[in-house]
Amino acid sequence: MCNKFSDFLENRYRSKFDKKNLLKQYNNKTNENVSEISEDFSYIFYYILNTRPCYYWNEEVRQSTVRQLSEIIKDNEIKIDAEMLHYFFIAYDTYQQVTDVMQDMSNLHCEERLKNRLYRIPTYISITEGCFANLYKVIRDVINQIKKDKNYKLQNTLDPICNILKNNKFCLLVQDVNIDIRNAINHGGVLLTNNGKNLNFYYMKNGHETKFKIKYNEFEELINKLYDVCSGILLGITQVLNCNINILDKDDIMKNKYLNFRLLALKLSLPTIVCNEINDESIGNRQLNILMSISNTDKAFLVQTAFELIVQAYQKYPQYEQYHVNVENERLLICYIRLTREDILGFIDNHEMLNTYLKKAIARGDVQVPSPEELKSECLKEVKYYKYPTYIDDKIKILMVEDISIEDRKRLKANLFVGDIQDKKEIIERIEKAIKWLKELDNSFTNTKTTIKQGNMEADSIYLYVYHNDIRDGFGIDRNNKNCICFVDYNVDGKTSLKNGGMLENTWKTLFHEKVNNMEIAWREEQ
């Protein structure tokens, strides 16, 4: 289903990306002679070639992957079925997530013990279990198609799959995978010593417990090495698929909705316009949802791009009643455009103005595109990982501080624990002490998506949930929660900006209210 106007919109969308330059870049970096890069796989090529640390891929591994798979395909009738393609996408999606983690946390400055538990150990497992295991299964199933006397698909764990690849000329792809470390991690056999500078792996081998020790920096080098091998395998398999589109079992793949959505998402992904997901999991499966990450926050660009995306999605899936594009950007609030099938038919069949249907969608409440003027801080990394400090002394504990500021009012909320005291005067003194500390907190690094009052100025409002003790199930302002003492609404000008303390009206009415200086206190019990 197509016409000249829909073709024009698709071509305009794809013109945002220079595919010829990508092809040249790939051939130059790999000394290959690939003649064309398919739109189905162009974004994976772009992502690996231009994203750090993807572009440190192991070239020898990439070459081996391409060479061995190409030899098998050349001499045999090979098919990539839905199951194999599913393995490929699991590996690729995990690889992207691991890449994000490595970008953010490989240079994290903290003690080695914490970094091992928080970053190194989980990353090692994600690479081996999420990436390697699934990429290896793709290759296993290719090999299985030429080994008529064996059924390699019965082997589903990492060690035997590695042996299959070793025995079939894919040794280079598995030689750096340490099964013992993987088994030790998976079965809880990891002990950190010397303040986390040494990792001791305990595992069973040939019926005996064995110990293997590695220094933290050597372990990180191993992670980087495995990641580079993974990059080489992924890039190699992608090249093989790109150059042998005919081996995709389209009949089998067409039966799988997830894979069809995933392939369309890849086709719609450009360097600065990435389709993260496509699904129809809302409104009774009558709406197609397209989830995008877009770098350009210009309002006109977002609207134009949304129309172009919707038309391409409609060409592939014309059966839906509505088409919804949701835009994610770390500097934007909720941003979306929704068009009906009638809207789309109006401007691609009847050649009516796009602006006509934009106005209709706005009138329905189906458009929310924030203006760039709403954006704020440049400190995106600080915002992403910013954590307020805690305060603990022998009388109070302040935890879970959050910024809930609005445009003209700096507002913070927190949980305050005052111990097993019952004296009202002493409780109020501890509340006032907490407010004094909270008022001085800087909230400069807490928000990039809305215009709020930010900085190191004194807070206008402080909201405290006051409890006796910090216990697992002791939270909530509730008459039945004996650990709860009160809710405090402090305002520097004595005027609240909350209705019913931000609670349900029925809950608010059950509490006992009192005004103390600039504090409105809602007690659980009458004082």
Cross-strand partners of 490: 462, 519
* Ranges of CATH 3.30.300 domains, the chain: 265-374
What pLDDT digit, counting tens, does each position of 404-461 carry?
988 889 999 999 999 999 999 999 999 999 999 999 998 877 666 667 788 889 999 9
Average pLDDT of the segment spanning 319-340: 89
Note the pLDDT tens digit of each residue in 253-263. 999 999 999 99
344-368 pLDDT, tens digit per residue, is 998 887 766 788 888 899 999 998 8
Determine which helix (DSSP H) or strand (DSSP E) holds 327, and give its type and residue range: strand 322-328
What percentage of the chain reaches a pLDDT higher than 90?
A: 73
Q: How far is CA 203 from CA 132, 185, 345, 436, in A?
A: 21, 9, 63, 53
What distance in Å separates the CA atoms of residue 109 and residue 118, rounded to the nearest whole number?
Answer: 12
Kind and range of the H or E run holding 290: strand 287-294
Pseudo-torsion of CA 26, 29, 31, 37, nearest 10°?
Answer: 0
- Looking at residue 110, its pLDDT comes to 85
DSSP E strands in 183-266: the ranges are: 190-193, 198-205, 208-215
pLDDT confidence tier of residue 14, bands split at 50, 70 and 90 = very high
Per residue in 23-53, pLDDT tens? 999 999 999 999 999 999 999 999 999 999 9
Mean pLDDT of 161-183: 94
pLDDT of res. 223 = 96
**Cβ–Cβ under 8 Å, residues 24 and 45:** no
Name which of 215-224, 379-388, 427-436, 457-466 the model is least confident about: 379-388
Instruction: Give the lowest-confidence range in 79-88, 103-112, 392-401, 510-519.
Output: 103-112
Best mean pLDDT range from 4-8, 205-209, 437-441: 437-441
Confidence band of 382 (pLDDT split at 50, 70, 90): low
pLDDT at 27: 97
* Torsion angle (degrees, nearest 10) of CA 514, 520, 525, 527: -40
Q: Which amino acid is at 103?
A: Q
Rounded Cα gap, residues 215 and 42, in angstroms: 39
> By mean pLDDT, which of 86-95, 119-128, 142-151, 349-358 is the weakest?
349-358
| Mean pLDDT of all residues belonging to the chain | 91
Query: How crowded is residue 270: how many other Cβ atoms within 10 Å of its Cβ?
Result: 21
- SS3 state of residue 297: coil
CA–CA separation, 304 vs 12, rounded Å? 10
pLDDT given for residue 301 in this prediction: 92
Please state, for a pLDDT cut of 70, what percent of the chain lies above it: 95
Range 488-513 average pLDDT: 92
**pLDDT confidence of residue 448:** 64
Mean pLDDT for 113-125 is 95
pLDDT bucket at 473, cuts 50 / 70 / 90 = confident
Phi, psi of 512 (to 5 degrees): -105, 120
- Taking CA 216 as the corner, what is the angle to CA 54 and CA 210, rounded to the nearest 5 degrees? 110
Per-residue pLDDT tens digits for 238-290: 999 999 999 999 999 999 999 999 999 999 999 999 999 999 998 889 999 99
| Highest mean pLDDT: which range of 221-225, 295-299, 498-502 | 221-225
> 337-356 as b/e, with b when 16 or more CB fall inside 10 Å?
bbbbbebbebbbeeeeebee
Q: Is the pLDDT of residue 84 over 50?
A: yes
* Rounded mean pLDDT, 109-121: 92
- Residue 134 pLDDT more than 60? yes
- Give the right CATH number for 265-374 from 3.30.300, 1.10.3470, 3.40.50, 1.10.10: 3.30.300
Per the CB < 8 A criterion, the answer to whether 460 and 409 are in contact is: yes
Residue 373 is predicted with a pLDDT of 44
